[in-house]
Amino acid sequence: MSVEKPPVEICKGVHGLDKVVLREVRGSSAEVYLYGGHVTSWRNDHGEELLFLSTKADFKPPKAIRGGIPICFPQFGSHGNLDQHGFARNRFWSIDTNPPPFPTVSINKAFIDLIFKPSEEDLKIWPHSYEFRLRITLGPGGDLMLTSRIRNIDAKPFSFTFAYHTYLSVSDISEVRVEGLETLDFLDNLKAKERFTEQGDAITFESEVDKIYLATPTKIAIIDHEKKRTFVLRKDGLPDAVVWNPWEKKAKSMADFGDDDYKHMLCVEAAAVEKAITLKPGEEWKGRLELSAVPSSYRSGQLDPQRVLQG
């Protein structure tokens, strides 16, 4: 007799770190580490992993886990005086047992609420008081949703930048294209953050890329030709989109990244970077990411971008 697994299970992961497993009745699942408030796995109802996790990910605090969805807060990248990507990804989060209600009710969905509050040590490096609540939800169709709510509980305003640093798993980076970012302006991290304008074609990859696309649409499609799979990324409250692949040389220089791992990943990160978000005392900001994976409408060399972008 098989015992049905619960929709939300709190258990131990790598190195005994606390982990939450979300399961949806049709078989999709997600795994979240309290370390970093970090989603490390998202599987569809065939059990296929949809997020990239480095073959050398070491799950050893204080280092961030390489892969999945690290949270970059209160600073994206090197856009400020803090360490790269801030510190939320290197802190232990807690389960939030009594979060303030959401306007929409999560019926028929497996979800977990996490909270991160700064410690005395954190306040020394970034002297602002806040509550960062993160709800991670697995929808009935296997969609993965992350909602961040950051509330200023300080007496002064503060500003921050942010990203859901999503590592998508792809079959072969050379077979991937991104639609929705054509013709947009971007800051090129490989050229001292200089501003350029993307040309008209969908974006494909043949070398290192590290770009912050500005004022992006709420929907971006990442098409994996070989897998015939399209990731649809929807976002709210996050105007920018970072696209990153370290390619061969940089991959070799990263201790927690396999030499060939760059072939099987692409980061497309819903972000707020160019314009920092400012919260007055008592104000709350909300930033949402929704990911779905659907079969590509790819037939004999022809994609139908309209279908991809409307679906």
Tell the smallest beta-carbon distance from residue 301 to ligand BG6 (Å).
32
Count Cβ atoms below 10 Å from residue 14 Cβ, excluding itself.
14
Which CB atom, from 5 or from 195, has the smaller least distance to ligand BG6?
A: 195
297-298-302 Cα angle (round to 5):
120
Cβ neighbors of 166 (< 8 A, separation 6 or more) are: 51, 69, 233, 267, 268, 269, 270, 289, 291
Q: Does 269 bind ligand BG6 (CB under 6 A)?
A: yes
Q: Is 215 left (phi over 0), alpha (psi -120 to 50) or beta?
A: left
How far apart, in Å, do the first and last CA atoms of the chain sit?
Answer: 39
Residue 198 annotated as catalytic: no
The CA distance from 214 to 242, in Å, is 9
How many angstroms separate the CA atoms of 127 and 120, rounded? Answer: 9
Q: How far is the CB of 95 from ligand BG6 (least distance, A)?
A: 25
Q: Tell me if 210 contacts ligand BG6 by CB under 6 A.
A: yes
Distances (CA, A) of 114 to 83, 206, 293: 23, 38, 24
- Report if residue 32 touches ligand BG6, rule: CB under 6 A: no
Known active-site residue 165 = yes
Query: Which residue in the list 165, 179, 225, 290 is annotated as catalytic?
Result: 165
38 is an interface residue for ligand BG6 by CB under 6 A: no
Under the binding rule (CB under 6 A), the answer on residue 149 touching ligand BG6 is: no
Q: Under the criterion CB under 6 A, does residue 242 sit at the interface with ligand BG6? A: yes
Residue 40 gets the label, from left (phi > 0), alpha (psi -120 to 50) or beta, of alpha
Q: Which of residues 176-205 bind ligand BG6 (CB under 6 A)?
A: 189
- Taking the C-alpha atoms of residue 274 and residue 308, their distance in angstroms, rounded to an integer, is 28
Q: How far is the CB of 250 from ligand BG6 (least distance, A)?
A: 7
Stretch that binds ligand BG6, among 10-18, 34-42, 77-85, 222-230 (CB under 6 A): 77-85
Q: Does 84 bind ligand BG6 (CB under 6 A)?
A: yes
Asked whether position 240 contacts ligand BG6 by CB under 6 A, the answer is no
Number of residues assigned to the chain? 311
Counting Cα atoms < 13 Å in the Cβ hemisphere of 128 gives: 19
Number of residues this chain uses to bind ligand BG6 (CB under 6 A): 10
Of 35 and 298, which CB lies nearer to ligand BG6 in the complex structure? 35
Closest by alpha carbon to 48, among 303, 228, 307, 174? 228
**Residues 165, 229, 263, 288: which binds ligand BG6 (CB under 6 A)?**
165
Lay out the site mask for ligand BG6 across 102-141 (x = CB under 6 A, - = otherwise): ----------------------------------------
Q: Which residues bind ligand BG6 (CB under 6 A)?
A: 64, 77, 84-85, 165, 189, 210, 242, 244, 269
Which residues are catalytically annotated?
Answer: 165, 269
